[in-house]
A and B are shown apart, each in its own frame.
Chain A
């Protein structure tokens, strides 16, 4: 791993301003992201894990310039991607590609597979007409589809096959980083396994880096080198996957590992169910986002926003009570 990250997310904030309602009332603004920071190195698969609404998709969209940050920035090889101009946005688009959860909705139903996959090549005028055809056949082969797929439409394929088409389309422009937003969440278990193997194989063969966005803890544990744990728009913990699994530091991480079906360790007792008042979101202007579900919360947790702090050379945690995991550091 080189010392400089391929992509850095720094203090990223995104606030969605609620539109005025018919009655002129203003609904609350949504702070989808609050000072998110993490890195992705070349060839690394980083899992971005969090429950629904935690801001995962919004981070992913910021990484491919589909969403403008309100504060902070994303940089690629040291360059702020919002500040790109001239030919550079096109260049960036070839470096970083996104794949989506719902393969059906993300593929144009009127285009044949050949044209879907070649879209990026056409837009960026990569290669000649003939070489593009060759390239598309190779791309389809690399995701396990035959040339017989070329002239068919996306809806003629199963969910798993559509996801492969989406991956081939993303690979067409030769990206170095793939942002994959819940790419296997809509697929059946047996199909999930095939797509996970495909993604891992791409990293092995092409040295691709990947942001694997998911709420599925076991899938993240299996595929990713490192994990970024998100909760209500904030990063709670960043850790190498193996160390995270044996020794989660943040109280939220511990809850996740204790509750994930199948991951539950024999020694770990049942976590008491969270009290109901905790199902309402806490006031996020002050204090820790996890405080009303946290078994370790103290008074300060309701007033001070815990900063994301480096606690070991490879681990970051946002918690006001480092003594909880201090022995493990």
Chain B
């Protein structure tokens, strides 16, 4: 990556939810940044804090949740940096859909069924004073073309229900990129789509970041999806980033036992050669993630970890560099014991 300054810097982010069961520490000391033109994947199982992290960046946390600490500095090229954690709602509203675009898993719930897709794209432009109504409608067709929709001039007049799931997700991308955001946040954008459509959407996102230099925070629970797609991977567990680094390094030489265990669970890694007979059982991870209202002392993964030491249950492992040259860091104190060939 070029040494340009990052589009987003997240530093020591903590998010709490005040619930009847107590204070839920949904996000705990999360730190990362994303450079312009970079694709960073945030992966983890459900409840690990991926969506809460992304909602906080957009200032869309539900009322019972709040940022209990940390900074979220958004710094698009040519603009003054803004700390999204403390910025007033008026500023956040301008940034949402402007400097930061977003797409979600289910495009149908985010699209207005009573408006044509052209009007919805145009609305995003007008709202952010990028164009007047007429110019905006003209640009809507260009945007549909940019996300690979054929006959865009006819399609601007279509309603969401007249489109397939894959096309609706493209419309969502068109809306999200309408104001040329410096950062795009995509929360499970392909989870509801089949593999062929999924491949197309990933291709469009790759092309957009190449052409526009926009940074992408890509959230998914699907590890095998991101190896070829993302530049860097961050693995979340129980509200913490437990491992991060170059996508290929994390996938082929994980330095955190949780990442390794998660990769080992994937059926795709256990398809023997045909004729070998039935492959063995899939490896599994014992137990389940901790209750975030009652975080255990020490490493959050210790009670499920096959390498846990006594020190793991008392200390509080920080994210530490395992391979500085590749920016590969882990929140495991025993990472040196993991063979580098693991998972290969």
Contact = CB atoms under 8 A, between A and B. Distances in A.
Q: Do A and B come from one complex?
A: yes
Contacts of A196: 267, 282
A259 B222 CA distance: 14
Interface string B119-134: 0000000000000000
Nearest to A194: B284
Nearest to B261: A190
B196 A197 contact: no
Nearest to B229: A261
A276 B148 contact: yes
Nearest to A158: B288
Interface stretch (A85-93, A110-118, A242-250): A242-250
B21 to A, nearest CB: 14
Interface string B263-286: 001111111011100110111110
Interface in B226-266: 227-228, 261-262, 265-266
B45 A189 contact: yes
Interface string A180-200: 000000001110111011001
Contacts of A219: 267
Contacts of A197: 281-282, 284
B164 A280 contact: yes
A73 interface: no
B225 A261 contact: yes
Interface string A245-265: 110000000011001111110
Given A158-B288, A222-B267, A261 B200 contact: no
A274 B278 CA distance: 34
Interface string A194-230: 1011001100000000000001111101110000000
A326 interface: no
A22 interface: no
The binding surface of chain B is classed by DSSP as: loop
A263 B199 contact: no
Contacts of A264: 228
A2 interface: no
A277 interface: yes
Contacts of B150: 275-277
B271 A190 contact: no
Interface in B197-220: 197-200, 203
A51 interface: yes
Nearest to B270: A222
Contacts of A188: 45-46, 221
A262 B281 contact: no
Contacts of A269: none
Nearest to B199: A259
Query: Contact residue range for chain B?
Result: 35 or more
A193 B266 CA distance: 7
Contacts of B274: 241-243, 245-246
Interface residues of A, number: 43
Given A218-B268, A261-B222, A189 B194 contact: no
B196 A193 contact: no
A328 interface: no
Contact of B228 (A218, A261, A271, A279): A261
Contacts of A245: 271, 274
B149 A276 contact: yes
Nearest to A281: B164
Nearest to B271: A221
B266 A189 contact: yes
A106 interface: no
Given A275-B150, A280-B164, A193 B283 contact: yes
Nearest to A223: B267
A36 to B, nearest CB: 19
Contacts of A279: 164, 166-167, 197
Contact of A293 (B196, B222, B265, B269): B196
Contact of B265 (A52, A190, A242): A190
B333 interface: no
B344 interface: no
A108 B122 CA distance: 46
Interface in B27-41: none
Contacts of B270: 222
9 contacts: A189-B266, A192-B265, A196-B282, A215-B195, A218-B267, A222-B270, A260-B268, A274-B200, A293-B196
Interface of B: 45-46, 148-150, 164-167, 192, 194-200, 203, 221-225, 227-228, 261-262, 265-271, 273-275, 278-279, 281-285, 288
Interchain residue pairs A-B with the least CB separation, the first 8: A242-B274, A51-B194, A262-B224, A222-B267, A218-B268, A276-B150, A193-B282, A262-B268
Interface of A: 51-52, 158, 188-190, 192-194, 196-197, 200-201, 215-219, 221-223, 241-243, 245-246, 255-256, 259-264, 271, 273-277, 279-280, 293
Given A193-B267, A222-B268, A256-B196, 18 more contacts: A189-B223, A189-B262, A193-B285, A196-B282, A197-B282, A215-B194, A221-B267, A255-B196, A260-B195, A261-B195, A261-B222, A262-B224, A264-B228, A273-B199, A274-B196, A275-B150, A276-B149, A293-B196
